[in-house]
Amino acid sequence: MADGAAGDPMSNGISVLLANATYPSDPRYNTAFHEQLDFIEHTVPRDANGAISHRVDEVQLWADSVFMVPPVLAYYGALQTDLDEQYKYLNMAVTQIRVYRQGLRDDSSNGLWHHVMQGSWTDPKHWCEYFIPTRVFSMMTDCSISDRSRLGRRRYSPCLPDDCQVLFA
């Protein structure tokens, strides 16, 4: 990571997985994806709650990472035929949204999220891509995991805004 961003390269993950499916005889896509996944899982630092840092050199929580990492984890999880692997990555996606919400939510401003918290630089501007939970859970509804209650979801209708609010409360 020349610029130290951990989440940015992962945001290309879905495209790389699609390229791998389109060109299965070319091992570069599969290799690139799994190297990045391994990096995110095992090298990038985490905060005390388990949130994967947006930066490599120090733990920083950026709302950007919620857009970049959990959707890729959910997509990869939904592709898995081994139900334990499927659960692992779908649960990891949900967990990252939850711990980022804990780290970025500002209860004094009606629950809006800070842009960046922790580390040497913080940005208290409030914003969050509200559709991120919807993007992750839309992938969950199409997967084959048999015991969806393991993921902590109460309902499996399309993820409506208040459904997401309940989930992340």
> Taking the model in full, what pTM does it have?
0.75
Euclidean distance between CA atoms 141 and 118, whole angstroms: 33
Please choose, from the candidates 42, 60, 43, the residue with its C-alpha nearest in 3D space to the C-alpha of residue 51: 60
Residues in a beta bridge with 116: 62, 123
Domains of the chain as residue ranges with CATH: 7-168 (1.50.10.10)
pLDDT per residue, tens digit, the chain (169 aa), is 456 888 888 989 999 999 999 999 999 999 999 999 999 999 999 999 999 999 999 998 988 888 899 999 999 999 999 999 999 999 999 899 889 888 888 777 777 777 767 765 655 554 454 445 555 666 656 555 555 555 544 433 333 334 344 344 4
